[in-house]
Amino acid sequence: MKKQVTQVFGKKKSEAIWSWLAPAFVGLVTVVGWDVFVRITNVPPYLLPGPGVVIKTLIEEWGDLFPSLLITVQITVMAFLAAVVSGVLIAILFAQSKWVERSFFPYAVILQTTPIVAIAPLIIIWLQNNTFMALVVCAWIVAFFPIVSNTTLGLNSADHTLQNLFEIYGASRWQTLIHLRLPSALPYFLGGLRISGGLALIGAVVAEFVAGTGGTRSGIAYQILISSFNLQIPRMFAALLMTTVLGVAIFVGLTILSDRLLAHWHESAIKREN
Amino acid sequence: MIMTAPMPVSLLTLKDIDKVYQDGTVALQGVNLDVKPGEFISLVGPSGCGKSTVLRLVAGLGDPTGGMMAWQGTNEQHNLAFVFQDPALMPWANVVDNIHLPLKLKGQSLRSVRPQIQSVINTVDLDGCEYRYPRQLSGGMKMRVSIARALVTKPQILLMDEPFGALDEMTRSRLNSDLLHLWEANHWTILFVTHNIYEAVYLSTRVIVMAARPGRVVADIPIEASYPRPNSFRTSSQFNHYCREIMAILSEEKSIGVG
């Protein structure tokens, strides 16, 4: 009996290791393949630098690139936090009445579907004395919609029988919101959060590109842009690599947060045998 | 209207209750029901006969479109508790927090009512499960939590809408006897909806038979068997007699409805 149990645990453990090893292996193969390809075909570094050159450039230019990355991190985090706060508040407002939702939701959609590249220059001009804030606003516009739409959906998805129960026990609107609708919305909200985190970064990068085209210095995307202009392609790849790592870090961080918060109860965070 | 006061005073009186939905469906027509303190009344009938609607109206979920409802001769709704077929537990809350809910909504802190909660947990036999989450409980255990959540408010009347309908036969029968013991010991008043005739006869002091289209009461049958009712009651001739009687009424109604 005891032996069986250890076997089950052993299996679980090896599965956990493999879930890390498998993607790492794919990554390694890709990098090696890339390196081999560059060596064999002798592509000049200004067209496609090999991974070794990229890493070397990254180390050399770290003093220049890392502060830029920090600026982008600041823009992303601020836009993301603004998206979370405003998104949740607007969703709560929408959930108060079907009519509020119907009246305002189309405009939230419009904000979402407006190409940020098109309006970013205007926002930068409007907030001319504060480029940083302009970039935050651009990233916020891109990031806030998933929070609004997911949280609104979640607030309206509270179990019907539980709603009846709250009514029978004389719960106030406020109590129903706090004790039933908000917890019910949590998994939906967290789903929106994961999408929104990545979008905040994309919004920041796009806005930095637009600002950079106008000659304004900002974060890591500006470095990508400038390196590309100057044909410093290895430097461009180094900056791209940093942006990618940042994006992955945001996603992983938010996934861990989501799993932690839902660990006790939600299907998405529960590991089942069957 | 003057309410005459028979002995003992009715806890709840429904008089000529109608319920017509906005789409014109007549859910209930002229339903009369008189609930005395300490009674265990079952409502049985086919689906669509409005038995659940009666319970929901009593609970204040929606208003009747006609007739009147009185609580010991007054309009004020009494302290009641509702147990649904779906245990309707909050998945993010453990057993204690789920049971605390009705009291929390009245502004009573967990600390102040913790002993009360422990006592209902003991009542429904869930000792040791206090800090489990709903997903860690079986269907029968979830229903016990749901019942405990109803009991913690010390209701004057317990409304149960097919509470054991989704459970397997073994669990159902076990919960039936447990519920009956608790009812005997605590002198509760229970209004119980089921489509299971055997369950209704085994549990009740009175079985109200309802028919569909429109939903109405067609028979009111007192079950004159003494309590405590042992398991052997389920196989007695008296038990069979009542079940046959109710089945006959139901099939008669059905043939009229078809014809």
* Residue pLDDT, tens place only, A178-214: 999 999 999 999 999 999 999 999 999 999 998 888 7
Assess if residue A22 is contained within a domain. yes
**Are residues A15 and A90 both part of a single domain?**
no
ipTM, 2 dp: 0.87
Average pLDDT over residues B138-150: 93
**Are residues A250 and A192 both part of a single domain?**
yes
Interval B232-251: pLDDT, tens: 898 999 999 999 999 999 98
Closest-CA distance of chain A to residue B105, Å: 6
- Tell me the chain A residues in contact with residue B106 when contact means C-beta distances shorter than 8 Å: 169-170
**Are residues A35 and A81 both part of a single domain?**
no
**Are residues A57 and A33 both part of a single domain?**
no
**Are residues A60 and A14 both part of a single domain?**
no
Note the pLDDT of residue A272. Answer: 62
Structural domain including A152 reads 49-269
Question: Which strand (E) or helix (H) includes residue A82?
Answer: helix A62-96
**Are residues A38 and A127 both part of a single domain?**
no
Interval B11-38: pLDDT, tens: 899 999 999 998 888 899 999 999 999 9
**Are residues A144 and A20 both part of a single domain?**
no
Q: Is A271 an 8 Å CB contact of chain B?
A: no
**Are residues A101 and A128 both part of a single domain?**
yes
For residue A2, pLDDT over 70 is answered with: no
> Which residue from A246, A247, A193, A185 is spatially nearest to A85, judged by alpha carbons?
A193
Interval B206-221: pLDDT, tens: 999 999 888 999 999 9
Q: Answer yes or no: do A183 and B90 touch at CB < 8 A.
A: yes
Average pLDDT over residues A164-179: 93
- Tell me the chain B residues in contact with residue A167 when contact means C-beta distances shorter than 8 Å: 60-61
For residue B93, pLDDT over 80 is answered with: yes
B137: closest chain A residue by CA: A265
**Are residues A38 and A128 both part of a single domain?**
no
Assess if residue A155 is contained within a domain. yes
- Tell me the chain B residues in contact with residue A168 when contact means C-beta distances shorter than 8 Å: 59-61, 80-82
Please give the structure tokens belonging to residue A265: 């109860």
CATH number assigned to the domain comprising residue A118: 1.10.3720.10
**Domains present along chain B, CATH in parentheses:** 1-76+182-223+246-259 (3.40.50.300)
Interface test with B, best of A157, A160, A167, A168 (most B CBs within 10 A): A168
Assess if residue A251 is contained within a domain. yes
**Are residues A259 and A145 both part of a single domain?**
yes
Note the pLDDT of residue A274. Answer: 54
For residue A265, pLDDT over 70 is answered with: yes
**Are residues A38 and A121 both part of a single domain?**
no
**Are residues A120 and A193 both part of a single domain?**
yes
Please tell me the total count of domains within chain A: 2
The pTM (predicted TM-score) of the whole model is 0.83
Note the pLDDT of residue A38. Answer: 93
Assess if residue A274 is contained within a domain. no
Note the pLDDT of residue B255. Answer: 66
